[in-house]
Amino acid sequence: MADAQREDAAETDTPNANDAQEKTSNSTMVEDSSTTLLKRMEITVAEAEKRTGKKAVNMQETYTVYLIETRPSSAVNEGQSVAPDALWRRYSEFELLRNYLLVTYPFIVVPPLPEKRAEFVWHKLSADNMDPDFVERRRVGLETFLLRVASHPVMSNDKIFYHFLMQERGWKEVVYDTGFQAKADSRLRALNATFRVKNPDKRFMEMKHYSDELQAITSQLLRARARVADRLYGVYKVHGNYGRVFSEWSAIEKEMGDGLQSAGHHMDAYAASIDDILEEEEHYADQIKEYLFFAEALRAVCRKHELSQYELETASLDLTSKKLQREELATGIVRTFSFKGMTTKLFGQETADQREARLKLLEEQIDEGEETVREKTAECEEHVHSGWEDMQRFKEQKDRDLREAFINYAYMQMSMCKKGIQMWSNAKECFSKM
């Protein structure tokens, strides 16, 4: 199934790749390419394995590593059986990669990782990170993450990302060398701060509002779904008791015995069928979950805009105020309150030299300020442009993905109904023979 997908991928074009090239002045680009990494390379997270290792304080820990395999697409297409390049990574390394991407590309809605801890569990699902089902679903989620990054017009060309896929040792050092960690901290602080922006881009504000709604609604949906799954599990499983009792009952009956016995088997089958049904539904839940986390990433892009805009506004205000001070100094007309002005009034006029010095300082500050404003304006504009573009791309992707998810959900329900019909029809036949 997956292979067929990737072959389809070789045919289609990525429309945004070219645009992204021109706009991004990112020095971490690997090479000029008109296609994303995914076109040239097949990526899978093939396996998961448990490891035990020593932590820094000489304590043992058990963790899971995931095998990333890569193969050039050309080889796959030509049907050559090429041994893949492979390396092992653990979840924390994926987190590191994602943090790097978040800081480096603040205008991109960065795909989320699968959840760190199992949330929205219903009673059968283990909340334990070492549980094999959890690990398997995480493996799938990590693969999705890599594929999404590799197919992004901008991110797919990132050097650090490439190294993540290709170079097991020393990758961490390379990442830290980029110095992104420092930016990461300030970014976090900025995102969490409250500040008032006077003229944010309306579209970004709407998008932020939407991301809040999306986060709230998907969260509610997932919680409700988990509870429904829990109840449905109960309903099906109780029917298993019918199987047991029918079997016992058939032992004391003559004419009814056969009918009861076979009906009992169908009850057992019915009770068992819920396991597969709910496992399939977990995939659906994972798809919704991805977009719950995507909502956060979307919000981050909007917040970054607010931050840029705020910094620009602050810089502009500061520049205006400095210019006004200069004007006052030059003309002697005091329009604004200033401490200097007050002390002057109280302690007398300053000398011409003093004024000269102050004026010079102001001029320097104004020059700096204008430079800052220019930078900030450019930064803001660029972020608005690239960010809006990526948000559009994200919106289309979301609509496609979720539409498919809902359709598949409907098919899952239908399949469940078909199974139910079959089982109860069989049971009915057995009962009729009672």
Q: Which lies closer to other proteins via its Cβ, residue 160 or residue 214?
A: 214
CB of 83 to other proteins, least distance (A): 24
Q: Within positions 155 to 214, which residues make up the interface with other proteins, using CB under 8 A?
A: 210, 213-214
CB of 425 to other proteins, least distance (A): 5
What are the tokens at 58?
A: 């000489």
- Count of residues that interact with other proteins, criterion CB under 8 A: 72
CB of 225 to other proteins, least distance (A): 6
Q: Within positions 401 to 430, which residues make up the interface with other proteins, using CB under 8 A?
A: 401-411, 413-414, 417-418, 420-421, 424-425, 427-428
Q: Is 72 in the site for other proteins (CB under 8 A)?
A: no
CB of 391 to other proteins, least distance (A): 14
Instruction: Specify the stretch interacting with other proteins by CB under 8 A; choose among 7-15, 171-179, 195-203, 374-382.
Output: 7-15
Cα distances from 421 to residues 18, 171, 233, 266, 424, in angstroms, run 53, 55, 18, 12, 5
Q: Identify the CA nearest to 146 among candidates 43, 240, 236, 284.
A: 43
Q: Which of 23, 123, 231, 385 binds other proteins (CB under 8 A)?
A: 231
Contact flags string 75-104 toward other proteins, x per CB under 8 A: ------------------------------
Q: Identify the CA nearest to 152 among candidates 72, 37, 44.
A: 37
Helix or strand (DSSP H, E) at 54: strand 41-54
Q: Identify the CA nearest to 294 among candidates 406, 399, 372, 166.
A: 399
Cα distances from 31 to residues 25, 36, 71, 159, in angstroms, run 13, 11, 18, 9
Q: Which of 9, 29, 48, 205 binds other proteins (CB under 8 A)?
A: 9
User: Does residue 206 contact residue 306 with C-beta atoms inside 8 Å?
Assistant: no
CB of 203 to other proteins, least distance (A): 14
Q: Within positions 289 to 348, which residues make up the interface with other proteins, using CB under 8 A?
A: 290
Instruction: Specify the stretch interacting with other proteins by CB under 8 A; choose among 82-90, 97-105, 283-291, 351-359.
Output: 283-291
Three-point CA angle 349, 354, 357, nearest 5°:
145
Contact flags string 124-153 toward other proteins, x per CB under 8 A: --------------------x--xx--x--
What are the tokens at 340?
A: 């200097």
CA dihedral 168, 170, 173, 178 (to 10 degrees): -70
CB of 369 to other proteins, least distance (A): 41
Three-point CA angle 292, 298, 300, nearest 5°:
115
At residue 224, φ and ψ (nearest 5 deg) are -65, -40
Q: Is 217 in the site for other proteins (CB under 8 A)?
A: yes
Q: Within positions 375 to 394, which residues make up the interface with other proteins, using CB under 8 A?
A: none
